[in-house]
Structure 1
Amino acid sequence: MTDTTGNQGGNPSGRPIRTFGRIGGRALSARQQALVDDLLPKLQVPEGLSDPQTLFPGLTETWLEIGFGGGEHLAEQARRNPDAGIIGCEPFIEGMAKALTQVNADGLSNVRLRMDDARPLVDGLAPGSLARVFIMFPDPWPKKRQQKRRLIQPDFLDSLHRACRKGARVRFATDVASYADEALWRFLQHGGYRWLAEGADDWRRPPADHVTTRYETKRLGDCAPVWCDFEII
């Protein structure tokens, strides 16, 4: 796997450039630590996963959320859509602990988790594995020198497109204007993603099935949230 800039020489180590910031935070409570120690191993997505349906026997399709933050969106989508198996990837341990708390409290059997970079998981999935993908407010890396770290890069879009089935839906949201412009351009340049917007309200207003998260309410970006829904073609 090359780095996500598409530039072979961009990272002398040969490892993909990290698209997320810190992974540690405040000390976990005893209850949270117990969930990380005991529940996470039971829900952990195994290394080398090819067919995600093996994680969800009897369910109709698999969804993926990349970078779920505190897990509010992930847990609510799982509650609303019990026939979909949902994989959530989040490298930040405090976010993982919060998500585990919700999954445990609500007895959500259709959630599996990965506390790591989502890109190797996506790379390893069999073609056509995913029916829906959420990329909600990924790390924007707003400074120009940092922007090579943004998740939405050509190599990633190639891998994601291959892992999604035809007609799958991909939702990208950001509250950083430069990232909104760049990501939309990259999706459209790829050629395999059809933007579903028909008017300005389609990207200015939250979609009907959106779940508001704690991050959104903080309004940390430099613009109102932008919502881009795409269909795999």
Structure 2
Amino acid sequence: MEQDEKRKSRATEAFFGRRKGKALRPKQAAQLERVRNERVIDLAEHPPADLRDLFDQPVDAVRLEIGFGGGEHLHHESGRFPKMGFIGVEPFVNGFAKMATALDEDDRPNLRLYDDDATELLNWLPDNCLVGIDLLYPDPWPKKRHWKRRFVNDANLDRFARVLAPGGLFRFASDIDTYVTWTLQHCRRHPAFQWKAAGPQDWRTPYDGWPGTRYEAKAIREGRPPAYLIFQRV
């Protein structure tokens, strides 16, 4: 698609790597196009003063998931909490297409989506508009020379601090030890975030209602136990 071709030269590609995998089947492509037309947030429009007005049905508050992959967790959570508004970001076309298929089979009227760079969405959002941000199994960029591409950095934590309401939660899960340590170091030195763990079980235990993901199951099979971190906006 022309839209996808334009994005290839974007400097913001650094955070998330490639855009597209194998070709979509015609039905998947049709589902994807329909969801893009109906659900994707248009940043050319001004954000609502109250972000809850972004949704067609009344919601009590709004959460954001960055990099939802195939959408297992986001689709699950938006079903568990129908009175919560959810925004999901995923630039990888094939992952976005999986979410489109899931919505075609089991709709979520409390869910909006964005299929480009999450930092642009964060810049667009109003202050103190979110009660939670999830960053679950992001690309770890394991080589040291690529660490600057990791989504957790000082600039993005500043963005999180601006859009999270006081008391809001930033949740980070990963099976890559160096990225877990990296995130702890960055968040613990940031004045807006407080790590909520009281002991080892707090970061070894999955989040309440956690459905698991295919990636996580593979990591566990390969001997990489995940860490589940929670930081509170102070």
Does the residue aligned with 1:39 lie in a helix, a strand or coil?
helix
Distance 1:118 1:31 in 2: 27
Q: CA RMSD in A?
A: 1.8
Distance 1:14 1:116 in 2: 10
1:74 paired residue number: 74
1:178 paired residue number: 178
Confirm whether residue 203 of structure 1 aligns to residue 199 of structure 2: no
1:159 paired residue number: 159
2:36 paired residue number: 40
1:3 paired residue number: none
Structure 1 residue runs of 5 or longer lacking an equivalent are 1-12
Which is worse superposed, 72-81 or 56-65? 56-65
Which structure has more helix as a fraction of its residues?
A: 2
Distance 2:209 2:190 in 1: 26
Once the two structures are TM-superposed, the CA of residue 159 in structure 1 deviates from its matched residue by 0.8
Once the two structures are TM-superposed, the CA of residue 16 in structure 1 deviates from its matched residue by 4.6
Does the residue aligned with 2:14 lie in a helix, a strand or coil?
coil
Structure 2 residue runs of 5 or longer lacking an equivalent are 1-8
1:230 paired residue number: 231
Distance 1:109 1:131 in 2: 19
Once the two structures are TM-superposed, the CA of residue 58 in structure 1 deviates from its matched residue by 1.6
Once the two structures are TM-superposed, the CA of residue 108 in structure 1 deviates from its matched residue by 0.9
Q: Counterparts in 2 of 1:1-233, with a 5 A limit? A: 15-16=11-12, 18-48=14-44, 49-51=46-48, 52-56=51-55, 57-219=57-219, 223-233=224-234
Compared CA separation, residues 213 and 14, structure 1 to 2 (3 A): closer
Once the two structures are TM-superposed, the CA of residue 209 in structure 1 deviates from its matched residue by 2.4
Does the residue aligned with 1:210 lie in a helix, a strand or coil?
coil
Q: Report the identity percentage.
A: 36
Distance 1:58 1:127 in 2: 20
2:5 paired residue number: none
Once the two structures are TM-superposed, the CA of residue 211 in structure 1 deviates from its matched residue by 2.1
Is the CA contact 2:169–2:231 (under 8 Å) kept in the aligned structure 1?
yes
Which is worse superposed, 136-145 or 29-38? 29-38
Does the residue aligned with 1:219 lie in a helix, a strand or coil?
helix
Q: For residues 33-90 of structure 1, give each alpha carbon's deviation from its aligned partner in whole angstroms, at most 9, with x where no partner exists.
A: 0011122210011114533322125211111000000000000000000001100000
Is the CA contact 1:176–1:222 (under 8 Å) kept in the aligned structure 2?
no
Does the residue aligned with 1:104 lie in a helix, a strand or coil?
helix
Instruction: Name the amino acid aligned to 1:178.
Output: T
Distance 2:192 2:25 in 1: 44
Instruction: Name the amino acid aligned to 2:172.
Output: F
Compared CA separation, residues 226 and 78, structure 1 to 2 (3 A): same
Is the CA contact 2:71–2:99 (under 8 Å) kept in the aligned structure 1?
yes
Compared CA separation, residues 125 and 142, structure 1 to 2 (3 A): same
Q: For residues 149-173 of structure 1, give each alpha carbon's deviation from its aligned partner in whole angstroms, at most 9, with x where no partner exists.
A: 0000000000111001011111001
Runs of 4+, deviation exceeding 4 Å: 13-17
Does the residue aligned with 2:116 lie in a helix, a strand or coil?
coil
Is the CA contact 1:193–1:231 (under 8 Å) kept in the aligned structure 2?
yes
Distance 2:102 2:203 in 1: 29
2:3 paired residue number: none
Instruction: Name the amino acid aligned to 1:179.
Output: Y
> Structure 1-normalised TM-score?
0.90
Is the CA contact 1:87–1:114 (under 8 Å) kept in the aligned structure 2?
yes
Does the residue aligned with 2:112 lie in a helix, a strand or coil?
strand
Is the CA contact 2:47–2:124 (under 8 Å) kept in the aligned structure 1?
yes
Instruction: Name the amino acid aligned to 2:233.
Output: I
